[in-house]
Amino acid sequence: MRRALLAAVLCATLVASTRTRADDAGASPVDPAAEKARRAATVAKIGDRVVTVGELEDRLAALPPFQRATFGADAATVRRAFLQQVLVPEGLYALGAAEQKLDQTVPTSFEVERAISSATLRAIRQKLGPESAIAQADVQAYYDANRDRYDTPERYQIWRILCKTEDEAKTVLAAASQNLDTKTFGDLARDHSIDKGSNMRAGNLGFVTADGKSSEPGLSLDPAVIKAAQGVKDGQLVPVPVKEGDGFAVAWRRGTIPANKRSVDDVAAQIRDTVWKDRVKAETDKLISTLRTAKLRDFNTAPLADLPATLGSDAGGPTHPGRPSADAN
């Protein structure tokens, strides 16, 4: 290991003669073959690992300027210092870990596997490019296909008790008017409403549009009741029972969501974020499906029955010694 360190430090002197692309700014175009050879030049060998000019350049390019400046006042000093202070120690630590076979022991082996997994996801994202690269045509297509998310009509939250007769509805309306609160209205709905889809939920039909469509699955409301509710303010009862089908409705307008009309330009950034995430998921699912078919073997959950009953159930307990922490990333 000492020999590897000595060799790496000696090779570091080669970096002084290495010129980065930034140093060549304004120079004449470089021959591609010569550029490839330049980047492939070795600046250090650490065991079997070779550190090239290209790797050094790429690692330095990934650093923000203020961080590069901490390695020295000029480019040559920065290159030498970064090699000796970062790349060489990294390589030696990795070499020492390999000699101790840390990559084959828990929990390091899990961490290595997780790092490789995370790198795969990063590669997928890099392949897709940034969100800003999503074409406007794709944004428009998504907007058109999901217009109801961005162009919604006014909606009303209405609680309604559907009674069998008008007389019963008048009695319920009078009782609700005397003490208008959610408990009273809920009790009346439970005792009198013939709508079994909402009577146990205080007659709450969710937010409904003028045509009677509700935000709650399986529920709807007669547009006649909504029209009557439009004639009162939020928090008020409709003053008279409303004919609804074979019954009579007692309606309470609880609140209103104004109409929401956003243009494609208003939501372009949001759509690009959604489309990009959908594409990442699609590519990830595709890769998983392909690898699962080709690589997954002997998938057998039967032995899991022998694990301790408390394993995984103690949210505040210690991490299992054979499993990396959930927030390892």
The DSSP-derived string for 122-172 is: HHHHHHH--GGGS-HHHHHHHHHHTHHHHEE--EEEEEEEEESSHHHHHHH
Identity of the residue numbered 242: V
Angle at 319 between CA 313 and CA 321, to 5 degrees: 115
Confidence of residue 134 (pLDDT cuts 50, 70, 90): very high
* Residue 137 covered by a domain: no
- CB-hemisphere CA count at 13 Å for 124? 19
Within this chain, do residues 18 and 119 fall inside the same structural domain, yes or no? yes
What does the buried/exposed string (b/e) look like for 15-54 if buried means 16 or more CB atoms within 10 Å of the residue's CB? beebeeeeeeeeeeeeeeeeeeebbeeebbebbebebbbe
Residue 28 lies in a domain: yes
Residues 93 and 178 in one domain: no
pLDDT tier for residue 94 given thresholds of 50, 70 and 90? confident
Please report the pLDDT score of residue 18 as a whole number. Answer: 43
Using CB atoms within 10 A of its CB, is residue 162 exposed (0-12), middle (13-18) or buried (19+)?
A: buried
118 with 206, same domain? Answer: no
CA proximity to 207, closest of 260, 152, 157, 257 = 157
Cα distance between residue 215 and residue 207, in whole Å: 5
Q: Are residues 26 and 117 both part of a single domain? A: yes
201/246 same-domain check: yes
Taking CA 205 as the corner, what is the angle to CA 202 and CA 211, rounded to the nearest 5 degrees?
A: 155
Considering its fold, how many domains does the chain have in total? 2
Q: Is 146 a domain residue? A: no
pLDDT score for 312:
60
Average confidence (pLDDT) over 160-164: 96
Q: CA 99, CA 102: separation in Å to the nearest integer?
A: 8
pLDDT at 155 over 50: yes
Whether residue 297 lies inside any domain: the answer is no
Q: Please check whether residue 292 lies inside any domain of the structure.
A: no
- Asked if residue 319 belongs to a domain, the reply is no
Could you tell me if 113 and 180 lie in one domain? Answer: no
Query: Could you tell me if 70 and 179 lie in one domain?
Result: no
Structure tokens at 33: 């073959």
Residues 94 and 162 grouped into a single domain:
no
**Residue 272 domain-assigned (yes or no):** no
Cα 32 from chain centre: 40
- Give the domain CATH number at 162: 3.10.50.40
Give tens-digit pLDDT for 11-68.
443 443 344 444 444 556 778 899 999 999 998 998 888 999 999 999 999 999 999 9
Tell me which residue of 200, 163, 202 sits closest to 180, measured CA to CA: 202
> Among residues 242, 258, 274, which one ends one of the domains?
258
Encoded tokens for 105: 């022991």
Statement: residue 324 has pLDDT above 60: no
Domain final residue pick, 223, 258, 293 = 258
85 shares a domain with 183: no
Helix (H, G, I), strand (E, B) or coil at 15: helix
Residue type for position 181: D
Q: In this predicted structure, what is the pLDDT of residue 313?
A: 56
50 is a domain residue: yes
Query: Which residues, other chains included, contact 113 with Cβ-Cβ below 8 Å and sequence gap of 6+?
Result: none
Q: Which domain-ending residue is among 224, 258, 292?
A: 258
pTM of the predicted structure, to 2 decimals: 0.53
Structural domain including 42 reads 2-127
